Amino acid sequence: MRHVIIGGSIAGISAAKAIRQSDPSAEVTVLSGEKARPYYRPMIPFLIRKGDIDITFEGDLEKRYGFAVAYEKAAGIDVAKKEVRLESGRNISYDRLLIATGSRAVVPAIPGIRGEAVFTLRTAQDARSIGKSAEKARSAVVLGGGLVGIKTAIALRKAGLGVTIVEKLDCILPGKFDRRGSEIISNIVEREGIRVLAGMSIVEAVRAEGELRGVRLSSGDTLDAGMLIVAAGTRPDLDAVKDTGIRTQTGIVIDENLRTSVPDIYAAGDVVEYTDLVFGRPAVSALWTNAEEMGRLAGRNMAGGKAKYEGFLSVLNSSEIFDVPVMAIGLVEPDPLSREYESLVEDNVDSYRKLVFKGSVLVGAVFINDVENAGIYTNLIRSRMPIGGLKEEAIKGSLRYINFIRTVPEQTMSA
């Protein structure tokens, strides 16, 4: 069986591993559009300050798992002939195909945004370019207050630049943290010298003779900036599936076995649109952990398995913001008008915990500077196990694994 995987990041690599583990005779080719050994993409903000740290997958993937990575970009798919067209002009045939092309940065149409000193952060190369430019710049504006924007801002601040985050919505981390959590994180980054302007947009990247001088804001004010980093979100990279008939909405639509609407073609990772376990509706994930899981299951199914994918949590973030651990999992900010949800909050001087319940089922959690045992909560959210009687322990943080274990009376055991 000949498997081809378009995309050399985590979804593609974990699929390739899974295929080879399920079927050691399978022939697997991974096509990577990036001319770089597969690497841990979430690590790229660290490359801004230290361009030479090693973030690649260790070891020889080919030797260890028996698949080859071809550094070629796919230009299209001929579904009838079961061939992938490469940009080099070559065609490569497949029995089973995985689309794991990931996502790309969204760049809003703003006058002056095209040109030098404007960056997005999606690849290791992007990060190194930002780092290089930061050596000469004194100040930077980051458009977008999501996690990528914040991590970029932190790296640039640590590199000594004056940094301003401009977020269109009225708080940073919109959709990813609850309002109070966002406020706390905002305070942390501002305390460290990053300016946060929420509820503001950039209407122009101001240039003089082509050179970036700053940005003009919706308020009318102008900010000086030698660099502009656009971190305004991502969208699935659907270029490869153009004219294939593969069903897409925001991303590629898959069934519970991670198959697309076209036979023998699977999809996994950021490019996919699938059920969010707590929102109960389709979402795109853009998260490493989810992409790894989707790739692994898709690979297993491509090799003949029948793994069923239940869905992901599109909010599943853990990070450290200037030495403060922060986590958000699941549904963190329920509609205040809805009576379906109950939020329990412990808002202390140096820590913050919030749990969101739907009846007796935990559906969301936010932890700031008190993150011990967080995995127990993540697992409760994923498994949707009712924990009605343990809400008090849960918000106090005394919930443990043992709370879910009961000794089994002897007579219920079958010999």
Partner 1 sequence: MKQIFVRPELCMGCRSCEIGCAVQHSKDKTLFSAVLQSPPPSPRLFVESAEDIKMPVICRHCEEAPCLNGCISGCLYRDEKGFVRRKKERCIGCWSCMMLCPFGVITRDKEKRIAVKCDRCHKLDLPACVNACPTGALQLVDLDEVPKEIRSRTVLSGARAYRP
Contact stretch for partner 1 (CB under 8 A) within 122-130, 193-201, 271-279, 399-407: 399-407
SS3 242: coil
User: Under the criterion CB under 8 A, does residue 42 sit at the interface with partner 1?
Assistant: yes
Cα gap 396→398, rounded to integer Å: 6
The answer to whether 194 touches 155, Cβ cutoff 8 Å, is no
Other residues' Cβ atoms within 10 Å of the Cβ of residue 135: 9
What is the token pair recorded at 373?
Answer: 């045992």
Distance of CA 189 to the CA centre of its chain: 21
Q: What are phi and psi of 287, to 5 degrees?
A: -130, 140
Nearest residue (CB) to partner 1, 250 versus 383: 383
Site for partner 1 (CB under 8 A): which residue of 25, 52, 58, 335? 58
Nearest residue (CB) to partner 1, 176 versus 223: 176
Contact stretch for partner 1 (CB under 8 A) within 63-71, 165-173, 320-328, 349-357: 320-328
Nearest residue (CB) to partner 1, 225 versus 315: 315
User: Under the criterion CB under 8 A, does residue 379 sit at the interface with partner 1?
Assistant: yes
User: Under the criterion CB under 8 A, does residue 325 sit at the interface with partner 1?
Assistant: yes
User: Under the criterion CB under 8 A, does residue 316 sit at the interface with partner 1?
Assistant: yes
Contact stretch for partner 1 (CB under 8 A) within 93-101, 120-128, 336-344, 383-391: 383-391
- Quick one: 54 exposed, middle or buried, by C-beta within 10 A (0-12, 13-18, 19+)? exposed
CB of 23 to partner 1, least distance (A): 18
- Rounded to a whole number of angstroms, the distance between the first and last alpha carbons of the chain is 44
Nearest residue (CB) to partner 1, 194 versus 371: 371
CB of 395 to partner 1, least distance (A): 16
What is the token pair recorded at 57?
Answer: 């997958």
Cα gap 336→257, rounded to integer Å: 36
**Residues 98-117, mask of contacts with partner 1 (x by CB under 8 A):** --------------------
Query: In sequence order, which residues have a C-beta less than 8 Å from that of residue 381 and are 6 or more positions away?
Result: 277, 278, 313, 329, 330, 362, 363, 364, 365
User: Under the criterion CB under 8 A, does residue 403 sit at the interface with partner 1?
Assistant: yes
Site for partner 1 (CB under 8 A): which residue of 95, 310, 320, 347? 320
Nearest residue (CB) to partner 1, 117 versus 399: 399
The answer to whether 368 touches 181, Cβ cutoff 8 Å, is yes
The answer to whether 127 touches 55, Cβ cutoff 8 Å, is no
Nearest residue (CB) to partner 1, 55 versus 344: 55
Site for partner 1 (CB under 8 A): which residue of 50, 81, 114, 384? 384
What amino acid occupies position 44? I
Site for partner 1 (CB under 8 A): which residue of 36, 68, 345, 385? 385
User: Under the criterion CB under 8 A, does residue 351 sit at the interface with partner 1?
Assistant: no
- Which helix (H) or strand (E) element contains residue 47? helix 44-47
The answer to whether 356 touches 335, Cβ cutoff 8 Å, is no
Positions touching partner 1 (CB under 8 A) are 14, 40, 42-43, 46, 55-58, 288-289, 292-293, 296, 316, 318-320, 323, 325, 327, 329, 371-376, 378-379, 383-386, 400-408, 413, 415
